[in-house]
Chains A and B, each alone.
Chain A
Amino acid sequence: MIEVMTSNYAAAHGARLSKVEVIAAYPITPQSSISEKLAEMSVKGELHGQYILVESEHSAMSLLIGASYVGARTYTATSSHGLALMHEMLYWATGARRPIVMTIVSRAMAPPWNIWGDQMDVIGERDTGWMQFFCENNQETLDTTIMSYRIAEDRSVMLPAMVIEDGFILSHTFEAVDLPDQDDVDDFLPKFNPELKIDFNDPRRFGGLVMPDWWSEFRFRIAQDMEDAKKKIIEVDKEFEKKFGRSYGGLVEFYNCDDADVILALAGSAVGTAKHVSDKMRERGKKVGVVKIKTLRPLPAEELTKLNDMVPVVGVFDRSFNFGHGGGIFSEIRNGIYTPGGGLLTKNYVGGMGGRDFTPKHMEWVFEDLLRIKKEGKVDRMIEWIPLRDGTGRWY
């Protein structure tokens, strides 16, 4: 059934169709309409579990960890400062191996206050052991929510997952979304049945003190399972396609890349803009390709390494800056594609932050810049902010 809805509503429908059993809700712009929609669904009896209003995001995550220990499927959603407040419990969810799924409506971190779209919040949490799935459009938000439970709850994975949609650009924009039938979702997504949970007949302690002589083993298991989750992510994406006719590439999607001269890699709603501009430029004979980073965690290093053999120049667009050397996705991709002695040229484009428009015109400038670098054979500046008002960064 096709309905026109925002990405936030698509997220709420994704949670409903996944038959989540415990929801913890706390408002923050631009996430609030997810919580509101779920409240409405709860009152109408469309949800299968409990909808609990908490007093902070920290308690939201804490409460879900508790519920997940019993074996309940859990859900919450947040943005920016709410996510930052959860920071401690994000590590906890990972270490406790609770496969919580959470929608992040990505937003800038203050000060100065800014409620608009920006990926600094999620990039800042990329090392907490959560899987991170970025969404390009509203349909993808819904589909990724359902797939995330399937992946996260798999006994070989048992790690939490963030489903990331860009604040306002997706969260408050209406698009046509195909709502799957509940029966089909039930077929695709089995009930959550963890190997270990609170059990009075088999009492265990979860999360107690571990001494240094065992600690690394606990961390290594997470690292290993995160790495192995890549196979599961690809497998689930394929099964989803078989069942529902839609695929998102699993880890990465190569678009217009086969014969490309240059490639731009990016994540989130700007992927759609990049694909559109790539199509238009190809009509004019300019062979530019797009790599969509669907999954940032686990980092699809093997897939990204292929870029070394595909093009001489790779650009990375970041809707965040993390006060290190470039945006977070730039750092990650350079890490992923690095080959000793390889000659691949890379450049970071930082833009569209704090809700600033990043239009097809900007995107075209980025591709032209990459083509220029290819021609000149060198990168003049590695990190470019576009646009900036005082001219230190360049416009198109």
Chain B
Amino acid sequence: MPKFTIPKEEYLYKGHSGCPGCGTPLALRYALKALGPRTVLNFPAGCGGVVLGVWPGYAMKVPVVDNAFECTAAVANGIRAGFEVKGVDDAYVVGWAGDGATVDIGLQALSATVDRNSNIIYVMLDNEAYMNTGIQKSGCTPIGAWTTTTPVSGGKGYNLTPKKRIMDMLVANGIVYGATVNIAYPEDFVTRMQKAKDIRGTKFIHVFAPCSAGWRTDPSKSVEIARLATQTGTFPLYEVDRGKYSLTKEIKKRKPVDEYLKLQGRFRHLSKDAIADIQKLVDEEYERLLYKVKVTNG
């Protein structure tokens, strides 16, 4: 079999405003390589829009619409409806929101859009906190993490709630296709996007993208850390195609979660016991995922 190659075209220009080590520009590049030039992107408040830069310029080759924080899915649905009444059927509509804009403030509009099965691709750029406003906890912040609204003092105060299981929520909502992707696995990323674009209905792409400023990490290690998230099972790669779960990246032997955590300042305060608890949680979640794969394919 020929080796899969990523399309050469670039749709994100140089000179964007992403921080050093930011995962977002990689995610934008991979997504658009898969979708091509007839794509319109719709950003709510958040890093995604900021990365594109300041008026009158913007660092992107395709049309972009900016919108309020909680309405990404509704606006994307509206753009799609506009295309439908105008007879445009060869364009892709992408809602591109952060984790907070999705699992917190934008959940209602997203759920209703899944309900209507509007023909859009919803991308959740997950950097595990409200990074654009300055590293505040979101529903996607993992257990154990420091953020500015879960400050650490005397071994207390860090985030104690697990990440929302947004994929399971949307599967329960009846979403036609969902996938997790990681900026450290570009070929898989592009493959998932290409699969999503050919499915009619609402598609959900959960992108794992480190934020070195918010995670307190070395900007040169973003891809390495992102890869470790998948290699440790912290962020497994899988898809849910019309209710059926399957792994898209099998990890034969998962690395200890400590290898992932220790590279990040946001987990620096964790005790050995706390790390052991997180390991247990990651193992349980991974087993649960394998179970979902098994029962939905049985």
Closest 4 CB pairs of A and B: A66-B78, A70-B82, A62-B71, A55-B112
Whether B64 pairs with A205 at a CB distance below 8 angstroms is: yes
Alpha-carbon gap, A62 to B78, bound state (A) = 7
Q: Taking CB as reference atom, which chain B residue is nearest A198? A: B63
With contacts A49-B85, A199-B63, A208-B54 known, is A92 near B68, CB below 8 A? yes
Judge whether B61 is part of the interface by a CB distance below 8 angstroms. yes
Whether A72 pairs with B86 at a CB distance below 8 angstroms is: yes
What residues on A are CB-neighbors of B53 within 8 Å? 208-209
Residue among B50, B65, B82, B83 having the largest count of chain A Cβ atoms under 10 Å: B82
Whether A50 pairs with B85 at a CB distance below 8 angstroms is: yes
* CB within 8 Å of A: which B246-266 residues: none
Judge whether B6 is part of the interface by a CB distance below 8 angstroms. no
With contacts A55-B109, A66-B81 known, is A209 near B63, CB below 8 A? no
Whether B66 pairs with A63 at a CB distance below 8 angstroms is: no
What residues on A are CB-neighbors of B42 within 8 Å? 66
Judge whether A58 is part of the interface by a CB distance below 8 angstroms. yes
Judge whether B62 is part of the interface by a CB distance below 8 angstroms. yes
The listed residue (B49, B75, B88, B108) touching A66 by CB distance below 8 A is: B75
Whether A66 pairs with B61 at a CB distance below 8 angstroms is: no
Chain B residues near A (Cβ < 8 Å): 37-38, 40, 42, 49-50, 52-55, 58, 60-68, 70-71, 74-86, 88, 91, 108-109, 111-112, 115-116
Judge whether A1 is part of the interface by a CB distance below 8 angstroms. no
The listed residue (B52, B78, B109) touching A65 by CB distance below 8 A is: B78
The contact sample of 20 A-B pairs, CB cut-off 8 A, is A48-B85, A49-B85, A54-B74, A58-B109, A59-B112, A62-B74, A63-B77, A66-B42, A66-B78, A69-B78, A70-B83, A70-B86, A88-B68, A92-B68, A199-B63, A200-B37, A205-B52, A205-B65, A210-B55, A214-B55
Whether A208 pairs with B67 at a CB distance below 8 angstroms is: no
Q: Beta-carbon contacts of A191-209 to B below 8 Å, as 1s and 0s?
A: 0000000111001111111
B64 to chain A, nearest CB (A): 4
Whether B49 pairs with A208 at a CB distance below 8 angstroms is: yes
Alpha-carbon gap, A89 to B72, bound state (A) = 12
Q: How many residues of A contact B (CB 8 A)?
A: 41
Q: In the complex, given contacts A59-B108, A205-B64, what are 16 additional A-B residue pairs having Cβ atoms less than 8 angstroms apart?
A: A22-B78, A50-B85, A56-B112, A58-B71, A62-B71, A63-B75, A66-B81, A67-B82, A70-B83, A203-B63, A203-B64, A205-B58, A208-B53, A208-B66, A209-B53, A209-B54
Whether B54 pairs with A66 at a CB distance below 8 angstroms is: no
With contacts A56-B108, A62-B71 known, is A208 near B82, CB below 8 A? no
Alpha-carbon gap, A209 to B64, bound state (A) = 12
With contacts A72-B86, A210-B54 known, is A63 near B74, CB below 8 A? yes
Whether B66 pairs with A206 at a CB distance below 8 angstroms is: yes
What residues on A are CB-neighbors of B50 within 8 Å? 209
